[in-house]
Amino acid sequence: MVAYTIRRILAMIPLIIAIATITFLLMHAVEGGPFDTDKPLPAATLENLKRRYGLDDPLPIQYVNYLANLAKFDFGISIANNRDITDIIRERMRVSVQLGIATFLFATVFGLTLGILSALNQNGPGDYAGVFIATIGAAMPSIVLAPLLTIVFAVKLGWFNVLSSDYGFTDWFRGDFSNWRQVVLPTVALGFLPMAFIARITRASMLEVLRQDYVRTARSKGLSEFVVVVRHAARNAMIPVLTVLGPIFAGLITGSLVIETLFAIPGLGREFVRSVLIRDYGLIMGVTVFYAVIIAFMNLVVDLLYGLADPRIRY
């Protein structure tokens, strides 16, 4: 497994370079630039700004310099606020990670529970209820669900807080959960779709496993239903579920534009879209490469977890 892990890590290098190259070319192919304003800048000012951020060099030179800095884990300086891009990503990612972890736990726990209970009660009331919830979750996007949750549970009932200036996610890593009421609504709004997706895959996988001979054998030996489901059925049914958990986790911890905007969460997804609107080349490319690294790493983690879920898998 060690050799396999090393090969996968080395294979990530050309992938990251390819993504960085495509992003670099697309950014410079888009019409407009970071210094385009309603009132044109003086020629001398524009020249100084381009020199400051290395945009006065020919495109091939800019590309080589970008890859050289990328090899040193240096994403450069943000054009919009003149800050180090690595610091911006670290600051915004801290918020997005906490929202993503809370959402992932919500989606995984409720998705697995819903899928397993539906499979164990196939064609029964529990199954119909689970399928109904999963269908609603898959059909209702977060941009619709978030306002509904806000109106009902924050405005009408007053159970939760939103749009507060002291948003609670920034204190989670310090052990401060005093603002937990600000966490619930964005977590549910962002996690309902992946929860429905996980529930549907879990149900389908569990139904297939429950029909296998070894499950019938375990039951014929007189094992309790709990032992049969947990030790024999659920563990083998987790392999297809693990395939989707990695990308879901990577997508959640890297931020959500819709949820972070609606709930005024200063996360990485919101910052990324803002950088696109103002053509902040360095920040766009830095966040894109960072996304690619996170997703590639999570795919590797999922592949390694296969061996733990099913000992028959060897690398």
Structural domain spans, the chain = 91-266+294-309
Q: What pTM was estimated for this model as a whole?
A: 0.76
CA distances 67 to 17, 47, 155, Å, are 8, 23, 49
The two tokens of residue 204 are 């389908």
How far, in Å, CA of 12 to CA of 295, rounded? 10
Q: Residue 183 has what pLDDT?
A: 80
pLDDT at 172 over 70: no
How far, in Å, CA of 5 to CA of 209, rounded? 29
Q: Residue 34 has what pLDDT?
A: 67
Q: What is the pLDDT of residues 266-281, one digit of tens each?
A: 888 888 888 877 778 7
* Least confident among 35-39, 122-126, 170-174, 235-239: 170-174
- Give CATH for domain 91-266+294-309: 1.10.3720.10
How far, in Å, CA of 227 to CA of 200, rounded? 23
pLDDT at 109 over 90: yes
How far, in Å, CA of 290 to CA of 279, rounded? 18
Q: What is the pLDDT of residues 188-240, one digit of tens each?
A: 888 899 999 999 998 888 888 877 777 778 778 777 777 777 777 777 788 78
Written as one string, the DSSP assignment of the chain is: -HHHHHHHHHHHHHHHHHHHHHHHHHHHHSSS-TT--SSPPPHHHHHHHHHHTT-SS-HHHHHHHHHHHHHTT---B-TTT--BHHHHHHHHHHHHHHHHHHHHHHHHHHHHHHHHHHHHTTTSHHHHHHHHHHHHHHHS-HHHHHHHHIIIIIIIS--S--S-SS-GGGGGGGT--TTTHHHHHHHHHHHHHHHHHHHHHHHHHHHHHHTSHHHHHHHHTT--HHHIIIIIIIHHHHHHHHHHHHHHHHHHHT--HHHHHHTT---HHHHHHHHHHTT-HHHHHHHHHHHHHHHHHHHHHHHHHHHHH-TT---
156 - beta bridge partners?
none
Q: Residue 292 has what pLDDT?
A: 86
pLDDT at 36 over 70: no
159-188 core/surface letters (b: 16 or more CB in 10 A; e: else): ebbbeeeebbbbebeeeeeebebbbbbbbb
- pLDDT higher for 275 or 42? 275
Q: What is the pLDDT of residues 186-201, one digit of tens each?
A: 888 888 999 999 999 9
Q: What is the pLDDT of residues 136-161, one digit of tens each?
A: 888 888 888 888 888 888 888 878 77
Confidence bin at 166 (pLDDT 50/70/90): very low
84 phi/psi in degrees, rounded to 5? -65, 130
Q: Residue 108 has what pLDDT?
A: 92
The two tokens of residue 72 are 């040193």
Rounded average pLDDT over 119-147: 85
Which residues are CB-contacts of 1 (< 8 A; sequence separation ≥ 6)?
304, 307, 315
